[in-house]
Structure 1
Amino acid sequence: MGVGILEVIDLSENLLKSSILAELKLHVLSNVENLFLDSTPLDISFLQSIGILTSLKILSSSDCDLNDAIPAHQGLCYLNNLEELNLHGNALSGAIPSCLGNLTSLRYLDISDNRFTGNTASTPLTNLTTLQFLSLSKNRFQVPVSFNSFANHSHLKVLLADENDLVAEPIGFQIWRPKFQLKIFSLFNCTIEEHGKLRLPNFLYFQHDLRHVDLSYCNFGEISFPHWLLQNNTRLEKLILKDSSIVGPLILSPHPNSKLSVLDISNNKIQHEIPRNFCSLFPHLQYLFMSQNALTANIPLCLGGLRRLRMLDLSHNNLFGEIPEELGLKNLEELDVSDNHFYGKLPRWLWNNTALVILDFSKNHFEGPIPMGLCNLVNLEFLDLSLNHLSGTIPCCPNLQMMQHVHLAKNRLSGTLSGALFINSSLVTLDLSENNLTGRIPDWISTLPVLSVFLLKANQLDGEFPVHLCRLQSLSILDLSQNKISGHIPSCLSNLTLKPRSEKSYTGSTDFGLLLFDKIIVDMGLTIYNLIGDSETEKNYPFIFQEEEVEFSTKGARYTYKGNILELLSAIDLSCNQLTGIIPPGLGNLIEIQRICPQMTEVTTLEVFSVAHNNLSGPLPDRKNQFGTFEERSYKGNPLLCGPPLNKSCNEGDSLGTPSASSSEEEHSFID
């Protein structure tokens, strides 16, 4: 019986010793061709000893905690048969050693998410002309915006250079014609190393087979919309130009592009109206993002003819008029027209869109009631109708079991909350502030196990303080101010933990699976990608995502908390009611809302700090780091504060009743 030859070793996602190669006695495994060690802790000695496996064709060592520089003239440099190399997600640093230029059989190279430095035009990458896939993303490279150092890479199909430093070319630099025809090109979120503005990479003028282009978050210096990119690349499926300094009107090529499914031109300065021929040019759009521009006029009626449209974001523009009935699309999962000048009643067709997950009509001039048809939207997770002129009662929709965030603030809604408004186990945010709601706060509120943000400010609510709110163990922000609530503050309120909640910051992250990368990589016959998946953001873009935003008042001033910062906020406001009796002593145990954390003294970059004219009391934090530079004026108007730089010692007797510190924590924090 013959002895088989071991050609593939997969030890991914293990906790093996860093001396794994020695223990495997790799000198007897010289025929191994494929080695997978992803998410297995290794040290740099691995890259020194790997050279013994001269038959290797595939090496994948992503997320292995590798650090330091790649050893020169050792290990990797001798793997002349290597075709696919993945070092993504380590902490490798320094320059790429010149000897890697000997790996002339490489077709796939992913060195993204490391700390490599140097100008890519001076690296051995220029010699690897057999490359089909190259990812340089998330490093510290200087990347010449021309990319002409890859002029001879005739096989290159995928080029990813996200989150590096772009270097502008000299003014007299000549346009060049590449030998490659890319399918995917991404330059997401690159910084400009030199002062000034960049031009679009001019090799793009000669590309005719692109399927995915991402130039978002790059300052190209007031460019026009590159309609030629669509005209030249008739198979382009995704064009992402978010925050790319596009100005002027949206001028389009007269030639249709039947393949385009994703167009993101948000966060630019595009002016005037959406062209009337827009829909005929892109008949198969599925995801359209045009928010935060200066678009004007009405929504084109033709958008209703885009039957495949799943996401439409026209928010933060200057659009006006009524929402056309023709926009009644059946497949919409996200519809955001917030912060425009739309008016009229909420469109009737809206309530037939049962696929909707996100619906945002806030900051407009809509009027009339919220129809009972809202209850048809059984997949809805995020609803924002705030800052309009809506009136009438809030519909009773106990069947909306997917709902997580409800914003109906600053309307003219009336009636009581006694009905089952949104009774479901998923509700995280309920904001009904600044309406004309009356009656008591009903018991059903206490049955919401994950309710974290509950805002009823500035209504006409009455009755005794609702003791059942003490059951909301996930609560971290509560605002009942400016109502007519009476009675005592219950002592059980001090049992709330008010811990920060990550659920407050956003809704969803559903991958819609436009797996364009998958198809292209399979067609190229590459192996690594199929086994471990790609590390880039493309695969989960576009996705449903809505950033949460909550307004809360402190000391009479209104502040808006948004996104991740909202996760850290804990607050209670019971002011301007008709409460009586003593404040329960246990409220002093709610440390999440009462102290400015002593860790702030560790901040070394803070330039300005002022808590003047509040009602703070207790000892000031230690005068170290930046806090040692803040003088008395930063704390003036707080008579109960003590300690340097104030002239009042915390050891002195205090007729005003300065609290004495009873723990080390209290000695280094001050209380509101």
Structure 2
Amino acid sequence: MIPEALGDLQNLQYLDLSNNQLTGPMPFSLYDLKMLKEIVLDRNKLSGQLSPAIAQLQNLTKLLISKNNISGVLPPELGSLKNLEVLGFHQNRFDGSIPEAFGNLTRLFYLDASRNKLTGSIFPGISALLNLLTLDFSSNSLVGPIPNEITHLKMLERLALGFNHFTGGIPKEIGNMKHLKELSLTECSLSGTIPWSIGGLRSLVELDISGNDFNSELPASVGDLGNMTILNARKAKLVGRIPKELGSCKKLTLLRLSFNSFTGSIPEELAGLKNIAHFEVEDNQLSGPISDWIKKWANVVFVNLGNNKFYGLVPPTICQAKLLQSLDLHCNDLTGSIKETFEGCKNLVHLDLQGNHFHGGIPEYLAKLPLTILDLSYNNFTGALPSKLFESSTILEMNLDNNKLTGHIPESIGKLRSLQRLRMGSNCMEGPIPQAVGDLGNLTEISLGGNRLSGSIPQELFNCRNLVKLNLSSNNLIGHIPRSISQLTSLTGLVLSHNQLSGSIPAEICGGFTNPTHPESEYVQHHGLLDLSYNLLSGRIPPAIKNCVILEELHLQGNLLNGSIPAELGELKNLRTVDLSSNALVGPMVPWSAPLLTLQGLFLSNNHLNGNIPAEIGRILPNIAVVNLSSNAFMATLPQSLLCSKSLNRLDVSNNNLSGEIPLSCPWHEESLSSLVFFNASSNHLSGSLDGSISDFGQLSSLDIHNNSLTGSLPLALSNLSYLNYLDLSKNDFSGSNPCGICNIVAITFANFSGNRIGMHSLSDCAAPGICAPDSIKHKEGHPTHVILKAVTICAAVIIVIIVVVYVWRKLSIRSRPMHFEPTSQAQSLQLSSLQLIPPQAMRS
């Protein structure tokens, strides 16, 4: 702490205690030192508030208290310090508004209030601070328009207002600030047109307007900023063409125009930017061929043209830009071979050609370049991998996914000792996984899914102790899962699905899956997936599965597993999806009683599970969204706590031995009814009748309860299900009047009432004479048959589109993006796609 005895130094004029570990508030005795001219207390851990007694220090010319923990409002008395020239209090916790009394500090030439919690607007009296050279209000919560009065500060050289919540646009008179060298307006929520007058800032060196909502063009007047070296306009919602006048800004070294809506080609006038080092236009709508004049950029180091509509060949002269280190051309329509294209880029460190139409072989000269990142994925490269490609001494990441590569993975892969990430999925490579892969000690990710690899998983692979993600899915691998998988203690994602692996699941499978997070965000995003689905695995699910403490998705469907579901699954408190369908499991549905708060998807269909569905299932799975228990041997009644779960989206209990009534009467709160969209309870022994409570399930799109023993008349409330698309009530014992109200549901495309004691069989009966009174069919007057046929045609077209989309998605997800968390089963993918999953934080609360 600063001692109170400091106040005894009555003649003290200069006090500098910066860069210490001082704590506590500023001592009150400090305000008695009326001779003080300078107080410098920044970079400490001071707390408390700034006292109004600061007004006693009338001789003060400098006050720097930045980078502390001082809080509270700024005392208006600061405005009485009329000799103050330097005032800095950035990176504290001040709140409230900026006092209007600051307008009295007319000698001030430096004011830094950034990185606090200041609110309100910028006071108009700021125009009185005519001597200001630096003004920084960035990283607060200021609102309102940027006052036009700020443009009266003609001497200002640096203006930083970024990271606030202003409204309106840039003041039109901004061009009057002739001495301004740095203007930072990043992420200010600014909108409207960028004023033409901005071209009047002839002294400007740095301009940052990124992260705003202009929805306007970049004015051609920016070409008048001849001293500008940095222009950052990323994510500014700019439209139109890139102004050719930018070519007049000869001193530009950094130009960032990414994530806007620029159209047209890159103007040829930019060839004159001979000092440009960083050029970035990623994620726009630019088109045309890549210009040959890039070779004239003798100083360029970084070029990003990704995610646009550029087409044609990469100019063979591009490597005449001798200093080029990073070239990103991903997601365009570029084509041609790269046989010699980049051979002369001797300084190239990062090359991204992902998502184009390049073809031919992958050249071996790439190994001679100093590349650390090489991404050739999603192209049409063919042929075998050249063995020399794996002799690079610098490569850290190599992505060859989704091409048409053939042949074996060469043994020379073991020479890539620095390699950290290897992705070669969704190709046509065959043969065994080479043992030499075990020499890649720095490897954190390997993805070989979607090939034709055969043989067993080599033991040497588990020497890669740093592996975080391992994907060998969709190959022809055989043999057991080695117990030495326990050596992969950093593993958080394992996908071995769609192979021919046999034997039991080793208890050591959870040697990894223990790290809650990983330092790299990409691994955090994909961690917690264990997918062994669609193999020939047998035996029991090991109780040691409880050791996979970070497991979020467990996919074991499509195997030969037997025994009961282990109670230890209930101990995995991060589980979101469990798919054990299409095995030979027996026993109860959930052999645990404690609530599993995070579980949202449970798939147990096509097993031999039996017994009752627990009456308290709603308490055990309080946030469940999808449940598929079909084709088992469950009996007794359908629990009300399941059907009435407010989070439940899809429920399939078809092909079981359930009996009793369907519990439609739920204890709903009026403001929170059912979210159930899909309900299938067909082919059971359900009895009783349907009543008006069915209207509480207002989100239902598909209702299938055919092949049961339901009786009674159909409730009129069925016609209130306005989203209903599919209805099957056939093979029951319903009786009574015809459900003509169903014909008025706009969304309905299929209905089956056959095998009951009512006069309707399907939707075609809506138009049949003598079945439904004409005045009961409200939306089909005049042309009932035409309307029905049109609806059926539209539905059929939609179904075809969905099938095509799902087929394409399956091809991509299995072959090109096998590390994704979507369930492997197509049907269950469709089920999950309709979910609005609940954030884990909300469930834990």
State the TM-score, normalizing by the size of structure 2.
Answer: 0.61
Query: Shift in Å at residue 66 of structure 1?
Result: 1.9
Farther-moved stretch of structure 1 (80-89 vs 391-400): 391-400
Greater shift, 369-378 or 258-267, is seen at 369-378
Once the two structures are TM-superposed, the CA of residue 323 in structure 1 deviates from its matched residue by 0.8
User: Which stretch shows the higher mean deviation, 253-262 or 87-96?
Assistant: 253-262
Residue of structure 2 equivalent to 1:106: 132
Partner secondary structure for residue 355 of structure 2: coil
Alpha-carbon separation, structure 1, partners of 2:20 and 2:413? 46
Distance 1:176 1:338, change over 3 A: closer
**Worse-superposed segment, 575-584 or 418-427:** 575-584
Deviation of 1:550 after TM superposition, in Å, equals 12
Q: 2:37 aligns with which of 31, 34, 38?
A: 31
**Larger displacement relative to structure 2 (583-592 or 133-142):** 583-592
Residue of structure 2 equivalent to 1:139: 164
SS of 1:446's equivalent in the other structure is helix
Residues in 1 aligned to 2:323 and 2:554: alpha-carbon distance in whole angstroms: 45
- What is the one-letter code of the residue matched to 2:70? L
Is 1:225 the equivalent of 2:242? yes
Structure 1 partner of 2:306: 291
Q: Structure 1 pair 272/22, CA: closer, same or farther in 2 (3 Å)?
A: same
Q: How many residues get paired?
A: 576
Equivalent residue, structure 1, for 2:155: 130
Cα deviation for residue 502 of structure 1 reads 4.1
2:426 corresponds to: 410
Measured against aligned partners, the alpha-carbon deviations of 1:170-195 in whole angstroms (never above 9, x if no partner) come to 9xx88686254311111101024xxx
Which amino acid in the other structure matches residue 246 of structure 2? Answer: L
Distance in 2, matches of 1:3 and 1:71, equals 29
Q: Which amino acid aligns with 2:154?
A: T
- The 3-state SS of whatever aligns with 2:292 is coil
Q: For residues 107 and 625 of structure 1, what CA distance do their matches in structure 2 show?
A: 64
Distance 2:22 2:460 in 1: 48
Query: How many angstroms does 1:56 deviate by?
Result: 4.6
Among residues 226, 234, 258, which one is paired with 1:216 in the alignment?
Answer: 234
Give the Å deviation of 1:637.
Answer: 4.4
Contact 2:13 2:37 in 1 (8 A): yes
Tell me the distance in 2 between the aligned counterparts of 1:37 and 1:554: 59
Q: Deviations over 1:423-444 (max 9, x none)?
A: 4554332211111222222334
Hey, what does 2:213 align to over in structure 1? Answer: 191
Mapping of 1:327-406 within 5 angstroms?
327-328=342-343, 329-354=345-370, 356-395=371-410, 396-398=412-414, 400-406=416-422
Matches within 5 A, 1:233-248: 233-248=249-264
Match of 1:88 in 2: 114
Partner residue of 1:544? none
Greater shift in the superposed pair: 51-60 or 585-594: 51-60
The equivalent of 1:636 in structure 2 is: 679
Separation in structure 2 between the aligned mates of residue 55 and residue 631 of structure 1, nearest angstrom:
68
Q: Counterpart of 1:653?
A: none
Is 1:162 the equivalent of 2:186? yes
Are 1:591 and 2:573 an aligned pair? yes
2:90 maps to 62
Residue in structure 2 matching 1:573, options 526, 533, 555: 555
Partner of 2:806: none
Q: Distance in 1 between matches of 2:332 and 2:168?
A: 34
Equivalent position amino acid for 1:370 in 2: L
Matches of 1:633 and 1:376 in 2, distance apart?
57
2:176 to 144, 152, 162: 152
- Rounded to whole Å, the distance in 2 between the matches of 1:184 and 1:482 is 54
What aligned pairs does 1:435-450 form with structure 2 within 5 A after superposition? 435-450=451-466
How far 1:327 moved relative to its partner?
1.6
Q: Go from structure 1 to structure 2 and tell me whether the alpha carbon gap of 1:169 and 1:326 turns closer, same or farther (over 3 Å shift).
A: closer
1:40 is the counterpart of 2:68:
yes
CA contact (8 A) 1:168 1:198 kept: yes
For 2:502 and 2:532, the matched residues in 1 are separated by: 22
Measured in 2, the distance between the counterparts of 1:361 and 1:338 equals 5
Question: Contact between 1:488 and 1:581, CA under 8 Å: does it hold in 2?
Answer: no
Q: Counterpart of 2:676 in 1: which secondary structure?
A: helix
By how many angstroms is 1:402 displaced? 3.9
1:19-71 superposed Cα distances (whole Å, 9 cap, x missing partner): 32636447346211555433311113455465576655433333212222123
Report the CA distance shift for 1:156/1:632 in structure 2 as closer, same or farther (over 3 A). closer
The 3 A distance-change label for structure 1 pair 550 and 262 is farther
Partners of 1:496 and 1:296 lie apart in 2 by 45
Q: Which amino acid aligns with 2:131?
A: S
Q: Which residue of 2 aligns with 1:528?
A: none
Q: Structure 1 CA distance, aligned partners of 2:335 and 2:530?
A: 29
SS in 1 for 2:435: coil
Q: Residues 27 and 154 (structure 1 numbering): CA distance in 2 closer, same or farther, change over 3 Å?
A: farther
Whole-Å separation in 2 of the counterparts to 1:168 and 1:456: 51
**Which residue of 2 is the match for residue 462 of structure 1?**
478
1:662 corresponds to? none
Partner AA of 2:373 in structure 1:
I
Letter in structure 2 aligned against 1:63: Q
Q: What does residue range 246-645 of structure 1 map to in structure 2 within 5 Å?
A: 246-253=262-269, 256-280=272-296, 282-328=297-343, 329-354=345-370, 356-395=371-410, 396-398=412-414, 400-421=416-437, 423-424=439-440, 426-493=442-509, 496-497=512-513, 501-503=517-519, 505-506=521-522, 570-576=552-558, 585-594=567-576, 598=597, 611-612=625-626, 614-615=628-629, 629=672, 631=674, 633-634=676-677, 636-637=679-680
Larger radius of gyration: 2
Per-residue deviation, 1:153: 1.4
SS across alignment from 1:242:
coil
Q: 1:3 to 1:121 in 2, by over 3 A?
A: closer
Distance 1:7 1:499 in 2: 52
How far apart in 2 are the matches of 1:216 and 1:402?
Answer: 34
The answer for the alignment partner of 1:16 in structure 2 is 23
- Residues of 2 paired with 1:474 and 1:585: CA distance? 25
* Partner secondary structure for residue 462 of structure 1: strand
| CA shift in 2, pair 1:476/1:551, >3 Å | closer
Cα displacement (A) at 1:287: 0.7
Structure 1 letter corresponding to 2:185: A
- Cα deviation for residue 241 of structure 1 reads 1.0
Deviation at 1:311, TM superposition (A): 0.5
Q: CA deviation at 1:383?
A: 1.4
Q: Which amino acid letter does the alignment assign opposite residue 225 of structure 2?
A: Q
Q: Report how far residue 466 of structure 1 moved.
A: 2.1
* CA-CA distance at 1:480 after TM superposition: 0.9
Question: Take 1:15 and 1:444, find their aligned partners in 2: how far apart are those partners?
Answer: 55
Structure 1 residue 622 displacement after superposition: 6.4
Q: What whole-Å deviation, never above 9, does each CA across 1:491-546 have from its counterpart, x for those lacking one?
A: 34356545553445449xxxxxxxxxxxxxxxxxxxxxxxxxxxxxxxxxxxxxxx
Cα deviation, residue 457, structure 1: 0.8
Q: Does the 8 Å contact 1:107/1:131 carry over to 2?
A: yes
Q: Secondary structure at the match of 2:388?
A: helix
What secondary structure does 1:191 align onto?
coil
Aligned CA distance change for structure 1 residues 635 and 48 (closer, same or farther; 3 Å)? farther
Relative to 1, partners in 2 of residues 1:189 and 1:419: Cα closer, same or farther, differing over 3 Å? same
In structure 2, what residue type is equivalent to 1:493?
Answer: I
Cα deviation for residue 635 of structure 1 reads: 6.0
2:724 — aligned with what? Answer: none
**Does structure 2 conserve the Cα–Cα contact (< 8 Å) formed by 1:176 and 1:202?**
no
Supply the distance in 2 between the matched residues of 1:488 and 1:552 (Cα, whole angstroms).
15
Gaps of at least 5 residues in structure 1 are: 508-546, 557-567, 602-608, 648-665
Distance 1:20 1:369, change over 3 A: farther
Instruction: Give the CA RMSD over aligned residues.
Output: 4.1
